[in-house]
Amino acid sequence: MDDVLGNSLQSIFDLSSSEDEKIVSLGFMDLLGVQDLISPPFLEIMTAAQQVPSLISSQVPLTPPPSKKMDSFEVINQPATPNSSSISSASSEAFNEPVKVDDQEENQQKIKKRLKPKKTNQKRQREPRFAFMTKSEVDHLEDGYRWRKYGQKAVKNSPFPRSYYRCTTASCHVKKRVERSFSDPSIVITTYEGQHIHPSPIMPPPNLGNSHLSTATSAMPMQRTPPNYQQHLRQQPFTDSLRPSNFGHNMGSINNSFLHEKRICTPGAGPSLLEDRGLLQDILPSYMLKEE
DNA sequence: CGGTTTTGACCAGCGC
DNA sequence: GCGCTGGTCAAAACCG
């Protein structure tokens, strides 16, 4: 079942990399605003992230699908420019009846609007992505930001549709996709794309009584832990590359704050586990840990 | 009335 | 080249 889940997720997220062992990412940590804690050697192997010209500095690649290319890591150094998308006039309409110039222009503008920006030898730019699984009843988890749904698609091999959301804040182009795991419908898979450039609009200010929380959030100025997650959910940042070999020594510096947060999130979790596993426990699904 | 959701259509990329 | 799939657009519907 784990395999099924893993495979399906591989197809779900194209957080791919070309080299299994090399790509390591801090996506989740990055979202939490702790990317400045990355050690230099760690950065060196984040080849993909280095290519990204945006303020995003990392992403969490899942197990790279062998057939996939570095799609999500493709980088376009210049903004895709709508290169006038040479649409050669809607011939049928023009043929059938004389269309007013205004109408023609209107039509062409409509068509242009729908056309993606012309690319010249370049793939569409994509923000680094970060995905995690959450056990939750509701599909759209409150994470402190305001989202506007802009699409929904049926997912292949899954009865559950995938929803597409955009951050409603102007000039913030963060997107997220939400879907349920086919193999475990109780799990919601959320994929973030991009990074918020603004504080959470609906989160209360920090330091409101909960010293633990303030400790945990102090390291993440822009991305605070979703309240719902803290109360009800068990976050499982979904990553295959965050395995101990990559993870342990690189993440040690941020262990404290993150572990702290986790204790808040899941008071039911055994303290011994947390102590034993540390951050790893927070990141890796339990079944992965058991396999170790 | 403004913002959000729904939903069908369109486009790009990829595999065969 | 064709078909499939993911991602996005945008008009209409919905909602507070």
> Domain ranges in chain A?
129-193
- Pick one of 3.10.180.10, 2.60.120.680, 2.20.25.80, 1.20.1250.20 as the CATH number of A129-193: 2.20.25.80
A273 beta carbon to strand B: under 7 Å:
no
pLDDT in tens, A35-62: 333 333 333 333 333 333 333 333 344 3
- Rounded mean pLDDT for each run of 10 residues along chain A, 292 residues in total: 44 40 40 38 35 37 38 36 34 39 49 44 59 77 83 86 87 85 83 79 50 36 40 43 36 35 34 36 38 40
Pairing state between β A129-135 and A147-154? unpaired
Handedness of CA A24, A27, A28, A29 (dihedral sign): positive
CA dihedral A82, A87, A89, A92 (to 10 degrees): -130
The first and second tokens of residue A281, run together, are: 């426990």
- Which nucleotide is closest to the Cα of A85 by its C1'? B11
- Which nucleotide is closest to the Cα of A111 by its C1'? B10
pLDDT in tens, A133-149: 888 777 777 777 889 99
Give A163 CA → B6 C1' in Å. 11
Residue lying closest to nucleotide B9, CA to C1': A114
A168 beta carbon to strand B: under 7 Å:
yes
pLDDT value of position A47: 35
A119 beta carbon to strand B: under 7 Å:
yes
Those nucleotides of strand B lying less than 7 Å from any protein Cβ are 3-15
A113 beta carbon to strand B: under 7 Å:
no
pLDDT value of position A163: 92
Contact indicator for A273, A237 with CB cutoff of 8 Å: no
- Which nucleotide is closest to the Cα of A148 by its C1'? B4
In a 13 Å sphere around the CA of A173, the CA atoms on its Cβ side amount to 9
Give A198 CA → C16 C1' in Å. 26
pLDDT value of position A202: 57
Give A165 CA → B4 C1' in Å. 11
Question: CA A248, CA A186: separation in Å to the nearest integer?
Answer: 29
Long-range contacts at A156-161 (CB < 8 A, ≥ 24 apart): A156/A11, A157/A8, A157/A11, A157/A182, A158/A8, A158/A182, A160/A185
- Which nucleotide is closest to the Cα of A114 by its C1'? C9
Give A181 CA → B14 C1' in Å. 24
Give A218 CA → B2 C1' in Å. 35
Give A128 CA → B3 C1' in Å. 28
Give A115 CA → B12 C1' in Å. 10
